[in-house]
Chain A
Amino acid sequence: MLTDLLFGAYRKKVLGLLLLHPDTDYHVRELARQTGTAPGTLHKELARLATAGLLLRKAQGNQVRYQANQQCPVYPELAGLLRKTTGAAELLADVLAPLQPTLACIFGSVASGTETATSDVDLLVIGDIGFADLVRATHPVQAELGREINPVVYSVPELQRRVQAQDPFVMDLLRNPKIFLTGTEHDLSQLTGHTASAGV
């Protein structure tokens, strides 16, 4: 994965957890457990990231807790990068690959970064794929993410029919942010004949 290359697998895990849960602070041991890393090395790593201004370091009695620093000038860009490459996106891209979808993306609150603790992951898959196959492929990811996955599958003709009929659900989906797992925004607008932000 691209972010493994940029950050290193282990730093990516830690940043992914902290920057995608900016309202939560974590104790080092908690971070080590959740990311499967050694607390010893993690201590140094976190201290360096705090010195650089990316994390907030809070001493609470004899405990040190870390939290994402949302005031850091590059916080939005880094969080966006991690949102697209870790967690739901990475896991779903892996399990969808064998089904060879024409296009696949996450939409809804997870894509726009407005998800709450109980939000589903809304998944759009375009292709000649059966609903049962999609459900079976994505089911194991639910436990890993701690979120339910809501899969929506359309064949290319059905997608085009719904766009033509101005189906409110599909029009809303096209207008709002997406994280592409297979294909790009451009591929989607080729399929639908609509540009992403077009009001029509």
Chain B
Amino acid sequence: MTLANLLAIQRLLAFSATPEGVQRLLAAAVRNLADAQLAQLSAENRFDAAYKCIMQCAMLGLWAQGYRTSTSQPGHHQTALQALPLTMGLPNDIIIVLDALRKQRNLNDYEGDPISDAVVSECLAQAQALLAHTRKFLQTQFPDLLATSKKN
């Protein structure tokens, strides 16, 4: 499956992100990662914040390549994660883990299953790694999106 195929079946939409938009989303991902490390929060909320950071990084990958997910389609989180090898060259080995974290989120949100310590620490580690990867990816492949336009 290519990004163009995902566009054809309307799992993705064409989207032209602005540098301001990209920088705003990147800043939100950074804030979420910081919140995920607040020891006074519950395991559930730390997990949620780290997961949000992961999802925002996945969106940044899509935006940079000229796409966004179609939020009116079911499973847009899954689509965003599964696009990561295509957008930012992530290995499948990582996608398996990110997708398992997505399922944990569903079980926690909709059935109240608790989030274990192991899941919080894995989600945090994955968010940290993915945010660092996203930054580097944008800096090297799409530096224009990170440029500040404060000329006048």
Contact with B along A149-189 (1 / 0, CB 8 A): 01111110010001000010110000000000000000000
Q: List 19 A-B contacts (CB under 8 A).
A: A130-B118, A130-B121, A130-B122, A131-B97, A131-B100, A131-B116, A131-B119, A131-B122, A134-B118, A135-B96, A135-B97, A148-B103, A150-B103, A151-B100, A153-B116, A153-B119, A154-B118, A155-B117, A167-B114
Most-contacted residue by chain B among A150, A158, A167 (CB, 10 A): A150
Bound Cα distance from A28 to B117, whole angstroms: 48
Bound Cα distance from A152 to B117, whole angstroms: 10
Counting CB contacts under 8 A, is A1 at the interface? no
Bound Cα distance from A153 to B125, whole angstroms: 17
Contact with B along A129-153 (1 / 0, CB 8 A): 1111011100100000000101111
Contact with A along B81-124 (1 / 0, CB 8 A): 00000000000010011001001000100001110111101100
Bound Cα distance from A152 to B119, whole angstroms: 9
Chain B binding surface, main DSSP class:
helix
Q: In the complex the two chains form, is A131's CB within 8 Å of B114's CB?
A: no
Which 9 pairs between the two chains have the least Cβ-Cβ distance? A131-B122, A135-B100, A131-B118, A132-B97, A153-B118, A169-B114, A139-B96, A131-B119, A135-B97
Q: In the complex the two chains form, is A158's CB within 8 Å of B116's CB?
A: yes
B interface size (C-beta, 8 A): 17
The size bracket of the interface on A is 20 to 34
B80: min CB distance to chain A, Å: 18
B94: min CB distance to chain A, Å: 9
Which residue of chain B is the closest to A151 with respect to CB atoms?
Answer: B100
Bound Cα distance from A121 to B100, whole angstroms: 13
Most-contacted residue by chain A among B103, B118, B125 (CB, 10 A): B118
A137: min CB distance to chain B, Å: 10
Q: In the complex the two chains form, is A132's CB within 8 Å of B116's CB?
A: no
Which residue of chain B is the closest to A152 with respect to CB atoms?
Answer: B116
B143: min CB distance to chain A, Å: 32
* With known contacts A129-B118, A130-B118, A150-B103, A136–B96 Cβ distance under 8 A: yes
Which residue of chain A is the closest to B117 with respect to CB atoms?
Answer: A158
Which residue of chain A is the closest to B113 with respect to CB atoms?
Answer: A169
Q: Which residues of A contact B122 (CB under 8 A)?
A: 130-132
